[in-house]
Amino acid sequence: MTQAEAEKVLDLPERYGTDELRQAFKALAQEYHPDNAARNGISQQFAQQRMIEVNRAYATLKRLFDANPSQTIHRDLVSGAAHNRGVGVHVAPSGDRSVETQLDDSLFWDENGNPRSAVMENEANAAADAPGHGLRRTLLGPVLLRLAFIALLGLVWWRTFPLLPDNRANFDMSPTAPLSSLVAVLTAVVYPSYFLLYEVFAGGFSGTVREIINGIVSNATHVHVEVRRKGSYRSSLSGLVRNQVYGLLELPLAALSVVRGMDAAGTSQVVSFVVAGVLVVDALLGFFGTGIVVSVARWLSDLIEKHYVTMRMNMLKRCGQWASARHGR
């Protein structure tokens, strides 16, 4: 029995884990139990045959979780239903289908929720897209909001960067300046510059806002328009959380903790110095792609991505732009 056949027998959702697999198996086992089958008018012979299929299906799929019991698996909708209708079924307000496709969005995800390839990624985005809606594509496209965010962050940088002539008066950078003043200078240099450069080169902030606004509009209008840039599939918020140079962001916090420790006494001073030490060590580890903050960020990013994929799938179903073997139209 193949994976696709087993998933069809157990009637599993597009994404499932060990809990969903076990629940589906238990539900069918209960349904075709001899006592329940007879009560529901199901012949004993048919119930036995179904239970053989259910047991084989469960054994087939259970092995997929041997290496990683906590993983989430996508249904194999390629080799399963030959006439499976895919994501890109857009129903116009008149009720007519203006776009049809044989693609299913989940064909393009691996078990981690990432696109299987750049080509498939672009095809999946195109399949889940509704035609037209030029104004929405312009307003929520990858250019306009990004330029707006760059302008806003650039303005913040212009008004706070300590080395600019108009801002020098706001900072004490003299040789006799206290450590707290130097930390204020460090903070004003690092954070505005970092966030501006991050938006210029990655577009993470505008991408997240654009993704949220487009999701709200899609749910409100029941029409999903793909506004992400070509080659972009992963959740922007997930990428925003994961793709930060946390080592650089932690260093000013460590310096601030040192300053607070110098101004404190007793237990508060010890705590501040310990926090500063932890932040310094973690910042150094962060530059090598490890450490506490980096690990938490990766965990949170994966959690966001998992929920994002499910939310996107449900949104596409509400918009009439998703159909599968289980949720076919």
Residue 328 lies in a domain: no
Q: Are 126 and 87 in contact (CB under 8 A)?
A: no
Strand (E) or helix (H) holding 168 = none
Which residue range forms the structural domain that includes residue 39? 3-74
**Cα(204)–Cα(153) distance, integer angstroms:** 13
Burial 86-99 (b: 16+ CB within 10 A, else e): bbbbbbeeeeeeeb
Residue 200 lies in a domain: no
Residue 320 lies in a domain: no
Q: Note the pLDDT of residue 124.
A: 58
**Cα(206)–Cα(146) distance, integer angstroms:** 5
**Cα(98)–Cα(288) distance, integer angstroms:** 50
**Domains identified in the chain, total number:** 1
Q: Note the pLDDT of residue 99.
A: 39
Residue 55 lies in a domain: yes
Q: Are 19 and 71 in contact (CB under 8 A)?
A: no
Residue 21 lies in a domain: yes
pTM passes above 0.75: no
Domain with residue 35: its CATH number is 1.10.287
pLDDT digits (tens, 9 = 90+) for 21-65: 999 988 888 888 777 777 777 787 887 888 888 889 999 898 888
Residue 99 lies in a domain: no
**Cα(292)–Cα(254) distance, integer angstroms:** 14
pLDDT digits (tens, 9 = 90+) for 236-291: 999 999 999 999 999 999 999 999 999 999 999 999 999 999 999 999 999 999 99
- The residue count of the chain comes to 329
Residue 141 lies in a domain: no
Amino acid at 107: L
**Cα(193)–Cα(201) distance, integer angstroms:** 12
Distance from the first to the final alpha carbon of the chain: 27
Q: How confident is the model at residue 2 (pLDDT cuts 50, 70, 90)?
A: confident
Question: Closest by alpha carbon to 295, among 230, 242, 231?
Answer: 242
Residue 268 lies in a domain: no
Structure tokens at 305: 């991505």
Q: How confident is the model at residue 8 (pLDDT cuts 50, 70, 90)?
A: confident
Q: How confident is the model at residue 223 (pLDDT cuts 50, 70, 90)?
A: confident
Q: Note the pLDDT of residue 231.
A: 52
For residues 68 and 151, which has the higher predicted lDDT (pLDDT)?
Answer: 151
Task: Output the CA angle 290-293-299, nearest 5 degrees.
Answer: 85
Q: How confident is the model at residue 183 (pLDDT cuts 50, 70, 90)?
A: very high
